[in-house]
Amino acid sequence: MNIEFLNKSVLVTGAARGLGYALSESFAQRGAQVHATDILDIELEKLKGLVQCGRGGTVETYCADITDVAQVESLVAGIEDSRSGQSIDIVICAAGGIVGQEAKPIEQVSQHEWRAIVDANVTGVFNTVKAVLPSMKLAGTGAIVVISSGAGFRVSRTGIQSYAASKAGQIGLVRQLAHEVGPFGIRINSVAPGFMPTSPDYIRQWEGYGSEGQIALKESIALRRLGTPEEVAHAVMFLASEYAAFITGQIIAVNGTPS
């Protein structure tokens, strides 16, 4: 199976680091015209020089906050204008996370803290999908992949409430939208990775486990190791490709263990 995205336009949110970076590079290596966006402007600018492209692939970067609907609409309109009004072919929603927060009892969680994570993980996906769908519907085609989480399948006893809720919310949104946009030839799926220390928040969490906790986490995984961003990217690219033309509304766990 040789997956290529020659001349396909791909929007990747949360592209500056970790999984988003790996996704941007994976698509660019296979010929895609990648439009990478994030709020981390300095890291995003570095991405353009670091990503290795192949088969005619390119990377353009855009600093935008996906929780701001006006910024998302402007971003998508600009990309479509650069394509002479053509729709974006593939959208990868990888932005989100725990927004620098740590686990604590729910009675100590402020409204601001709750909304910050829900906005990053759910509202951001809503804004992005809403912005790209009109042109996708006119084109009669499109593929969307949302990076959700194992939280949608198995919730940690020591996790962050709004993170677990928002990731489960992403899965519900994917399943509902699959029915809504399917008649227009548009597919939407989700990839749910296992834990990976790929950003400062998750590195801090990993280090907080200590050596015993890290060993215990790996021992709880059937394959006895953590996954890599590249392994998650492989699943995302499959779902975005024509090889998955009859797959929609699905959540694919890439976590090395039975869900």
Catalytic residue set: 163
Cα 59 to chain centroid distance, Å, stands at 17
Cα 153 to chain centroid distance, Å, stands at 17
Q: What angle (nearest 5°) sits at the alpha carbon of residue 176, between those of residues 111 and 238?
A: 105
Give yes or no for a contact between 64 and 75, defined as CB atoms under 8 angstroms apart: yes
Report phi then psi at 192, rounded to 5: -115, 95
Q: Which residues pair with 13 in a beta bridge?
A: 37, 93
| Percent of residues in the chain assigned helix, strand, coil, to nearest 5 | 50, 15, 35
